[in-house]
Amino acid sequence: MAAAHGRPGLHAVPAAVALALESDARLADTLDALVVGYEIGARLGAAWRIRAGMHVDGTWGTIAAAASAAAVMHARARDALSNAVEAAACLIPASLYAPARQGATTRNLYAAHAVSRGIETALALTAGITAPQQAIGQAAALTFDPTQAVALTPPGPWLVLQGYFKPFAAVRHVHYGAQAGLDWRATFGTDTESITAIGLQTYPEAATYCGNRAPTTAIQAQFSLTYGLAHALARGGLGPDAYDVNALRDPEINRLEALTVVEETGAFDTGRGATLTIEANGRETNVSVDRVDGDTDQPMTREAVVAKFLKFATPRLGAETAVDLAHRIVDTPLSQPLTRVLSGD
């Protein structure tokens, strides 16, 4: 979620689903718990800012996971949620950005550890462990950067409605440059070998978190503005195949990535976006985007979301099973148990 500068759903969903499957909860109650964790996590992410050198996954998401788990176990009881939030605030890690920069996959553990920690916290409280008061305020001051903190989003707006699905297999900050690359291909052609210079203007947060150059591993490439743009320009997409060894060593992608100069700007009306300037055949051309599929005012359609699910699930499950599961996920009545969504029984 853009306003949260992170992914509350990545932490809230697994915790809600795990506890709901264990208790055979209705789909309605599962979604209710998911929303509770999402709203709490999103508000913390919007109000708190990680310190330099940190990665957002696994930090305030610990609290989102604990809230989701407690909501399933205690039917969203106020005291249970309050205790879960305060207890989880005592256990927030300062996840490092170093793995993403160096290509180490430790980063892939951050969200999983936060979900596990959140579930364990909710279970421990049920077993009699007690939570302190005002721990969440101390966590904000000690773990995060208090000089950049802002007020919590007040009740009223549903932040879950600002969530999104991602069309590309990359960090969200990479999407705007990649879309600009695809738009350039659509307008000016697919011949990239004549390109002699590339300039990419984008918003500061994208440059800060996705500044990896010449990536040699998948995780480095997923956090690379220049690689995502180069792959989109050269190959016309940015899917999982962008991160296999052949793509990472592709001479034309590597050449385009090396040509790209990134410049920060705050000029985009939506807060996010990219302007791509390319010199080819002695001519300068420009493409700008300030929104991509999945943004709040440009959501992916149901058909597009299902198509993405089928693209990735079919190789693992087979076409018939994947289609059946997709329809159960989107069509099962809320009164049915979550187990029915997964089993079809």
In the predicted structure, residue 273 carries a pLDDT above the cut 70: yes
Binning pLDDT at 50, 70 and 90, where does residue 345 land?
Answer: low
User: Is 318 within the bounds of a domain?
Assistant: yes
Q: Look at residue 225 in the predicted model and tell me its pLDDT.
A: 97
Quick one: which of 158, 50, 167 has its CA closest to 110?
50
Q: Look at the chain and report how many structural domains it folds into.
A: 3
In the predicted structure, residue 244 carries a pLDDT above the cut 80: yes
User: Is 82 within the bounds of a domain?
Assistant: yes
Averaged pLDDT score across all residues of the chain: 94
In the predicted structure, residue 297 carries a pLDDT above the cut 90: no
What is the model's pTM? 0.83
User: Is 140 within the bounds of a domain?
Assistant: yes
Q: Look at residue 233 in the predicted model and tell me its pLDDT.
A: 97
- Examine the domain organization and report whether 193 and 223 are in the same domain: yes
Binning pLDDT at 50, 70 and 90, where does residue 296 land?
Answer: confident
Q: Containing domain of residue 100, as a range?
A: 8-162
Domain boundary among 125, 141, 162: 162
Q: Look at residue 254 in the predicted model and tell me its pLDDT.
A: 98
Q: What is the pLDDT of residues 94-123, one digit of tens each?
A: 999 999 999 999 999 999 999 999 999 999
Domain boundary among 162, 188, 209: 162
Q: Are 251 and 240 in contact (CB under 8 A)?
A: no
- Examine the domain organization and report whether 119 and 226 are in the same domain: no
Q: Look at residue 270 in the predicted model and tell me its pLDDT.
A: 83
Q: Look at residue 2 in the predicted model and tell me its pLDDT.
A: 80
Binning pLDDT at 50, 70 and 90, where does residue 3 land?
Answer: confident
User: Is 42 within the bounds of a domain?
Assistant: yes
Domain boundary among 261, 289, 317: 289
Supply 301's token pair: 């359609």
In the predicted structure, residue 343 carries a pLDDT above the cut 90: no
Count Cβ atoms below 10 Å from residue 132 Cβ, excluding itself.
12
Q: What is the pLDDT of residues 61-78, one digit of tens each?
A: 999 999 999 999 999 899
Range 239-258 average pLDDT: 96
- Here the CATH number for the domain that contains residue 210 is 3.30.1330.120
- Examine the domain organization and report whether 181 and 318 are in the same domain: no
- Examine the domain organization and report whether 239 and 273 are in the same domain: yes
- Examine the domain organization and report whether 91 and 18 are in the same domain: yes
- Examine the domain organization and report whether 176 and 221 are in the same domain: yes
In the predicted structure, residue 321 carries a pLDDT above the cut 90: yes
- Examine the domain organization and report whether 158 and 46 are in the same domain: yes
Q: Are 117 and 61 in contact (CB under 8 A)?
A: no
User: Is 27 within the bounds of a domain?
Assistant: yes
User: Is 295 within the bounds of a domain?
Assistant: no
In the predicted structure, residue 283 carries a pLDDT above the cut 70: yes
Q: Look at residue 252 in the predicted model and tell me its pLDDT.
A: 98
User: Is 3 within the bounds of a domain?
Assistant: no
| Residue 202 bridge partners (DSSP) | 264, 274
The full 3-state SS of 91-146, as one line of letters, equals CCCCCECHHHHHCCHHHHHHHHHHHHHHHHHHHHHHCCCCCCCCHHHHHHHHHCCH
- Examine the domain organization and report whether 274 and 200 are in the same domain: yes
- Examine the domain organization and report whether 158 and 15 are in the same domain: yes
Supply 247's token pair: 């793509």
Spatial separation of the C-alpha atoms in residues 164 and 2, rounded to whole Å:
9
Q: Are 225 and 214 in contact (CB under 8 A)?
A: no
Binning pLDDT at 50, 70 and 90, where does residue 164 land?
Answer: confident
Q: What is the pLDDT of residues 116-163, one digit of tens each?
A: 999 999 999 999 999 999 999 999 999 999 999 999 999 899 999 988
- Examine the domain organization and report whether 201 and 135 are in the same domain: no
User: Is 2 within the bounds of a domain?
Assistant: no
Cβ-Cβ contacts under 8 Å for 170 (sequence gap 6 or more): 178, 222, 228, 238, 242
Range 240-258 average pLDDT: 96
- Examine the domain organization and report whether 202 and 116 are in the same domain: no
Q: Which of 168-172, 253-257, 336-340 has the highest mean pLDDT?
A: 253-257
- Examine the domain organization and report whether 318 and 282 are in the same domain: no
Cβ-Cβ contacts under 8 Å for 233 (sequence gap 6 or more): 181, 184, 185, 192, 195, 256
